[in-house]
Amino acid sequence: MAVQNPFFGKREPEPFQPRQTPSPLQGATTGGGLGGASAQQAASTAAAASSKAETRADNGGSKLTVGPNIKLKGVEITDCDTLVVEGTVEATMDSRVIQIAREGAFHGTAEIDVAEIHGLFDGTLTVREKLVIHSTGKVSGKIRYGKVVIEEGGQLTGEISAGSGSGANSGSSSTARASAHAPAALAA
């Protein structure tokens, strides 16, 4: 007797229902006898909606979240303001902010402004402004940073350089091959 896998069993078909979102121009076509006034109102509503969307993109920026149990491998991430890693990412990226959750792991190369590490980073990391390693964070590889904060328990291992890493500004950098398990919060 064959055992049926519960993941591939039969289920009731669900009717497809497309998402219906009201369009700013929809009111102009259903307005009936208002004519030109409705068209002008619809155009101004569309322009206002467009400017709100642009403002929202400027304030919140673009954000990519790789959820728990998700593996993203072999990609180049560009034009992403914030990357939140809750799963595993193997990539190359240039971004503003990276946040690695406690269960998250990033393997690869990253050039960013601010890094907040609760999980694991392994590879080449260039942080132009501030690197924060929390108590559960582990960073290893070739690391270059502007400023660093390591909470007690946080780990930093590898080839470590202090300095922003941007050409003329990196004249005051110091390089060390080190392994550090922070006994207390450090700030540089």
Q: Where are the domains of the chain?
A: 23-60, 63-187
Instruction: Say if pTM beats, i.e. exceeds, 0.75.
Output: no
CA gap 103, 110 in Å, rounded: 19
Q: What is the mean pLDDT of each run of 10 residues along the chain (188 residues)?
A: 53 54 46 44 39 40 93 90 96 95 96 96 96 97 96 95 58 46 46
Per-residue pLDDT reduced to its tens digit, 123-170: 999 999 999 999 999 999 999 999 999 999 999 999 999 886 544 333
Judge whether 157 and 174 are in contact, CB under 8 Å: no
- Beta strand residue intervals within the chain, DSSP E: 63-66, 71-85, 88-100, 105-117, 120-133, 138-150, 155-162, 174-181, 186-187
Q: What are the percentages of helix, strand and coil residues in the chain, rounded to 5?
A: 20, 50, 30
β-pair partners for 149: 132, 187
Strand partners, 73: 90
